Amino acid sequence: MTNNEIIKKLRIALDLKELDMIEIFKLSGYELKKYELSGIFRKEGNKNYRECSDLLLNHFLNGYIIYKRGIKE
């Protein structure tokens, strides 16, 4: 399973909208543009496809922890 498939499944399972995901990435300190996010959800053969690297997935998961629990003090 690729990172793109993982993040797609997480988006569906967690019922996240595009703006929620952009906010989650911001919380982790990673600025992701709307077009970059849509590239992650495209099929691999598409010209606008963007591979979700391990680092990008890590940012999403760390951001989601902050999104749900708040910033650790």
Residues 25 and 33: their CA atoms lie apart, in Å, by 10
Count of structural domains, the chain: 1
Helices (H), the chain: 3-13, 18-27, 34-40, 54-69
| DSSP summary character for residue 16 | -
* Boundaries of domain holding 24: 3-69
Structure token digits, residue 47: 């010209």
Q: What is the pLDDT of residues 14-72, one digit of tens each?
A: 999 999 999 999 999 999 999 999 999 999 999 999 999 999 999 999 999 999 998 77
Give pLDDT, residue 58. 96
pLDDT of residue 71: 78
Q: Given this model, what pLDDT does residue 72 score?
A: 73
